[in-house]
Amino acid sequence: MNTKHLGINSKLIHAGHTEDATGAVNVPIYQTSTFAFRNAAHGAALFAAKGDGYIYTRIGNPTIHALEESVAELEHSCGGIATSSGMGAICTVYLALLEGGAHMVSTASVYGPSRGLMEKDFSRFGVQSTYVDTTDLTQVKKALRPNTRLVYVETPSNPTMQVTDIKQVAAIAHAHGCLVVVDNTFASPYLQQPLDLGADVVLHSVTKFINGHADVVGGIIVAKDMDIYKRLRKAMVNSGCNMDPHQAFLVLRGLKTLGIRIERAQQSAMEIAAWLEKQPEVSAVHYIGLESHPQHELAKQQMSGFGSMISFELTGGMKAGRLLMDHVRVATLAVSLGGVETLVEHPASMTHASMSAQARRDAGFTDGLVRYSVGIEDAEDLIADLRQALDAVSVESLGRTLESAISVPPEPTLV
Ligand code: LCS
């Protein structure tokens, strides 16, 4: 069905789905590694990219193709490339668009391993990188070098919820002859379409909002033009970062409810963020829907909603952050985000522990930061859960302080 003229919720249901001979309403799982050629000429034509059909699942598969077509349409792109994971998508992008001696400028507050892969692995092949606060356009301009090939932006960023102006960054990067890549995981295509704002490539960890049910790990990349798309697809096929057909089937199923999941979760997120702002144990709340967020106005312009990711800082620092993890009951203590269940984690000791303490501070977050991915439970239950957890943290912190004040120091060792 041609869905180009339809609204986003209709696209979520129908885009990418072409009816097969059976009339199956859902795209079947083509669980096969290889596809038989009709004859030698057909096989040769497929290898010469001249015929219709499939060769081998690492190169392409109908179930995976349906997901790629669907996300490509949602992101207003010429084509999608599904990958084994979000990190598979990031690795493919670096591999396809950088080479030894090239330089990349990136958001400092990116998902930890996106930075780790560049600084610890791609650097071994002579790729250079500079991490800056991309919400500050002067820092982006200053970081550009003659050999800069890529400006990589994560917006909103993980876990600081900083919003980068995609249009402005694209104008700066393009004037310098660089490509712009946006990690759109936190917004999802339901809330933000970076290609329309000037980006050249968009990637997602589909593990998060796109799938939305915490049962699949996957990634996807979409490109603005065919030339870039072909470079990315070649890198994915050659590196073997492909998605599996069963993974693609589950993601296609999750994708259908993206709109209603996000609408509900972001309504609760707004309530929870406003409540958190009033709690004495909380020194800062980073939610782009709050007027107090420094890029609230920009988020309003470049996104169609504020999403459901919140991070907040506890006055009690690292100790309070870790204690809170042990006391939440409705929210699940787990990494990942963007699912129907509310997930809570402590970036300094978990997702962003691979960054140095200095890099975390430079990226703009403290060791008392808590990341909270709002799911679709009842908002009042989540608020009550946070309140009892904050109370328990206060009681336990006080207990530990008293304990250390009255504890008898150990006997000095006699030598
Ligand atoms: N990009 C962003 C913004 C992410 O948050 C993640 C994973 C990735 C890429 C990588 O995707 P994956 O390979 O896991 O599918 N973020 C995680 C997080 O914050 N907690 O656990 C995983």
**Rounded distance, CA 345 to CA 361, Å?**
18
Are the C-beta atoms of 70 and 64 separated by less than 8 Å? no
- Output the CA angle 191-134-299, nearest 5 degrees: 30
Q: Which DSSP helix (H) or strand (E) runs through 220?
A: strand 219-223
Q: Are residues 42 and 63 in the same domain?
A: yes
pLDDT level of residue 14 (50, 70, 90 thresholds): very high
* pLDDT single digits (tens) 95-109: 999 999 999 999 998
Mean of pLDDT over the chain: 94
**Rounded distance, CA 279 to CA 271, Å?**
13
* Distance from the alpha carbon of residue 336 to the mean position of ligand 1, in angstroms: 6
Closest Cα to atom 21, ligand 1: which residue?
Answer: 336
Residue 311's CATH number: 3.90.1150.10
Q: Is residue 1 part of a domain?
A: no
- Which of 158, 182, 352, 371 maximizes ligand 1 atoms within 8 Å of its Cβ, making it the mutation to test the pocket? 158
Regarding predicted confidence, which is higher, 250 or 17? 250
* Distance from the alpha carbon of residue 214 to the mean position of ligand 1, in angstroms: 12
State whether the Cα torsion 13-14-18-21 is positive or negative. positive
Q: Are residues 299 and 396 in the same domain?
A: yes
Q: CA end-to-end span of the chain, whole Å?
A: 85
Q: Which ligand 1 atom lies nearest to the CA of residue 186? A: 3
What is the domain range of residue 227? 8-255
Domain end (from 233, 255, 277) = 255
Domain end (from 255, 276, 296) = 255
Mean pLDDT across the stretch 58-68? 98
* Distance from the alpha carbon of residue 404 to the mean position of ligand 1, in angstroms: 38
**Rounded distance, CA 153 to CA 109, Å?**
9
Residue 8 has pLDDT above 60, yes or no: yes
pLDDT level of residue 50 (50, 70, 90 thresholds): confident
Q: Are residues 328 and 275 in the same domain?
A: yes
Q: Which ligand 1 atom lies nearest to the CA of residue 208? A: 15
Look up the pTM and report it. 0.94
Among 386, 398, 311, CA closest to 346: 311
Q: Are residues 330 and 361 in the same domain?
A: yes
Percent of the chain clearing pLDDT 70 (strictly above): 96
Q: Are residues 246 and 287 in the same domain?
A: no
* Distance from the alpha carbon of residue 147 to the mean position of ligand 1, in angstroms: 28
30, 54, 165, 183: the active-site residue: 183
* pLDDT single digits (tens) 191-236: 999 999 999 999 999 999 999 999 999 999 999 999 999 999 999 9
Rounded to whole angstroms, what are the CA distances from 374 to 26, 186, 298, 331? Answer: 29, 12, 22, 9
Q: Which ligand 1 atom lies nearest to the CA of residue 87? A: 13
Q: Are residues 237 and 265 in the same domain?
A: no
Which amino acid type is present at position 222? V
- pLDDT for residue 411: 56
Residue with tokens 């990219």: 49
Closest Cα to atom 18, ligand 1: which residue?
Answer: 336
Three-state DSSP at 95 gives helix
Q: Are residues 235 and 289 in the same domain?
A: no
Going along 123-218, which residue ranges are E strands? 128-132, 148-154, 179-183, 201-205
Are the C-beta atoms of 348 and 321 separated by less than 8 Å? yes
- pLDDT for residue 402: 63
Residue with tokens 């459901």: 308
Q: Are residues 245 and 272 in the same domain?
A: no
- pLDDT for residue 412: 52
Domain end (from 204, 232, 255) = 255
Closest Cα to atom 11, ligand 1: which residue?
Answer: 86
- Output the CA angle 200-201-204, nearest 5 degrees: 155
Rounded to whole angstroms, what are the CA distances from 296 to 271, 305, 343, 366? Answer: 16, 11, 24, 21
Mean pLDDT across the stretch 56-67? 98
Torsion of CA 232, 234, 236, 239, to 10 degrees: -130
Indicate the pairing of strand 282-286 with strand 219-223.
unpaired
183 is catalytic: yes
Residue 415 has pLDDT above 60, yes or no: no
Q: Are residues 179 and 325 in the same domain?
A: no
Torsion of CA 66, 71, 76, 81, to 10 degrees: -80
- pLDDT for residue 128: 98
Q: Are residues 262 and 245 in the same domain?
A: no
Closest Cα to atom 20, ligand 1: which residue?
Answer: 336
Three-state DSSP at 99 gives coil
Structure tokens at 65: 């193709």
- pLDDT for residue 396: 81
* pLDDT single digits (tens) 321-358: 999 999 999 999 999 999 999 999 999 888 888 778 88
Ligand 1 shell residues, CB under 6 Å: 85-87, 111, 114, 154, 158, 183, 185-186, 205, 207, 217, 219, 335-337, 351
Q: Is residue 413 part of a domain?
A: no
| Domain tally, the chain | 2
* pLDDT single digits (tens) 139-177: 999 999 999 999 999 999 989 999 999 999 999 999 999
- pLDDT for residue 348: 87
* Distance from the alpha carbon of residue 406 to the mean position of ligand 1, in angstroms: 44
pLDDT level of residue 407 (50, 70, 90 thresholds): low
